[in-house]
């Protein structure tokens, strides 16, 4: 199988579309394990990072499922990324825990990266900020650029274990669609645009000052935590209003029935 040879930065989208079509046409069956990234790269005539980005996109769409130490599988048709018995409150806690873990870990990653990052890597981060800020970019493209931004900082540490940990931490969010929804809502209430916060991180890394880089990353992820809190408050308010509206309607019916 091959995909059209195009000089395009969106090769991963072509790979994702080809795999998605393969699932729709039955070439890949629910529960089937895909070939390794290396084999898929050879099959499609692209690089392994391109294949990895395509897989991430399809995980975000709920079509594929990465199983730690096992591989990537086509999601079962009746499988749910989130067990139905999990309450929304628990999922909100999951979003908070995810953001807190990132703040603690990625702050130190940024501090180490500041001492080792190259001008070329800084330039690449700049392109990702532009991609995130592109008004024509889809939500999926922006999300992927965001992920690549933070992983690129991890790669600047020259420590493969750190890169794997940051990748795994990011991939955790795709395991729960409701958790992703919570994070998406939190983005909508941000007072500072994400591209501004990411640009602040780039500028702090450019100073090669670990303290400044740590502070910029902490500010970025602390903002996410604050927005999660605000989002949870808004959701609780909406639920309270809905309960009160239902109660008001019930009382109205009772009143009407007793006055007839």
Same domain, 38 and 163: no
Same domain, 118 and 204: yes
Same domain, 158 and 207: yes
pLDDT at residue 194, as a whole number: 62
CATH number of the domain bearing residue 32: 1.10.10.10
Phi-psi region of 79 (alpha: psi -120 to 50; beta: other; left: phi over 0): beta
Same domain, 165 and 212: yes
pLDDT at residue 209, as a whole number: 96
- Domain count within the chain: 2
Same domain, 185 and 216: yes
Domain contains 4: no
Each residue of 17-39: pLDDT tens digit? 999 999 988 899 999 999 998 99
Same domain, 47 and 168: no
Domain contains 79: no
Residue of 119, 126, 108 lying closest to 195 (CA atoms): 126
Report the C-alpha gap between 86 and 177 in whole angstroms: 12
Beta bridge partners of 71: 67
Same domain, 100 and 16: no
pTM over 0.85: no
Same domain, 104 and 45: no
Domain contains 259: no
Domain contains 216: yes
Same domain, 95 and 61: no
Same domain, 116 and 140: yes
The number of residues in the chain equals 260
DSSP letters spanning the chain: --------TTHHHHHHHHHHHHHHTTSS-TTPBPPPHHHHHHHHTS-HHHHHHHHHHHHHTTSEEEETTTEEEEPPTT--SS-TTS-HHHHHHHHHHHHHHHHHHHHHHHHHHHTT--HHHHHHHHHHHHHHT-TTS-HHHHHHHHHHHHHHHHHTTT-HHHHHHHHHHHHHGGG-HHHHHHHHHHHHT-SS-HHHHHHHHHHHHHTT-HHHHHHHHHHHHHHHHHHHHHHHHHHHHHHHHHHHHHHHHHHHHHHHHH--
pLDDT at residue 247, as a whole number: 76
The residue behind tokens 């900082």 is 153
For the packed helices 194-206 and 88-114, what is the interaxial angle rounded to 10 degrees?
Answer: 30
Q: Domain span at residue 152?
A: 88-243
Report the C-alpha gap between 148 and 125 in whole angstroms: 9
Q: Which of 20, 42, 74 is the last residue of a domain?
A: 74
pLDDT at residue 56, as a whole number: 81
> In the numeric block, which tokens belong to residue 101?
């873990």
The residue behind tokens 């970019």 is 137
Domain contains 46: yes
Tens digits of pLDDT across the chain (260 residues): 444 443 344 788 889 899 999 998 889 999 999 999 899 999 999 988 888 888 888 887 778 887 767 788 998 764 444 444 444 444 344 677 888 889 999 999 999 999 999 999 999 999 999 988 888 878 788 888 899 999 999 999 999 999 999 988 888 777 666 667 777 777 766 655 666 899 999 999 999 999 999 999 999 998 888 877 777 776 677 777 777 777 777 777 767 766 55
Domain contains 224: yes
CATH number of the domain bearing residue 151: 1.20.120.530
pLDDT at residue 118, as a whole number: 96
Domain contains 192: yes
Report the C-alpha gap between 148 and 128 in whole angstroms: 8
Report the C-alpha gap between 7 and 11 in whole angstroms: 8
Domain contains 257: no
Same domain, 233 and 129: yes
Same domain, 56 and 156: no
Report the C-alpha gap between 45 and 41 in whole angstroms: 6
Beta bridge partners of 74: 64
> In the numeric block, which tokens belong to residue 49?
């990072």
Beta bridge partners of 33: 73
């Amino acid at each position: 199988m091959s995909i059209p040879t195009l000089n395009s930065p969106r090769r991963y989208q072509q790979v994702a579309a080809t795999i998605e079509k393969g699932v729709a046409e039955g070439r890949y069956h629910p529960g089937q394990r895909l070939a390794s990234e290396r084999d898929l790269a050879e099959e499609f005539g692209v690089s392994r990072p391109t294949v990895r980005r395509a897989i991430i996109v399809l995980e975000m769409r709920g079509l594929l499922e990465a199983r730690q130490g096992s591989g990537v599988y086509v999601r079962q048709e009746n499988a749910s990324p989130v067990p139905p018995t999990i309450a929304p409150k628990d999922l909100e806690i999951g979003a908070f825990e995810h953001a807190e873990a990132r703040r603690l870990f990625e702050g130190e990653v940024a501090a180490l990266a500041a001492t080792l990052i190259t001008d070329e890597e800084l330039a690449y981060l700049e392109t990702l900020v532009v991609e995130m800020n592109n008004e024509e970019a889809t939500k999926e493209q922006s999300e992927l650029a965001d992920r690549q931004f933070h992983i690129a900082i991890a790669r600047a540490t020259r420590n493969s274990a750190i890169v794997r940990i940051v990748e795994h931490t990011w991939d955790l969010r795709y395991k729960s669609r409701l958790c992703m929804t919570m994070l998406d809502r939190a983005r909508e209430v941000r007072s500072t645009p994400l591209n501004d916060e990411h640009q602040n991180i780039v500028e702090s890394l450019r100073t090669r000052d670990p303290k400044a880089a740590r502070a910029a990353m902490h500010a970025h992820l602390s903002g996410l935590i604050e927005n999660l809190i605000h989002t949870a408050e808004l959701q609780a308010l909406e639920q309270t209003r809905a309960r009160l509206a239902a109660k008001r309607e019930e009382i109205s019916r009772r009143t009407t029935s007793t006055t007839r």
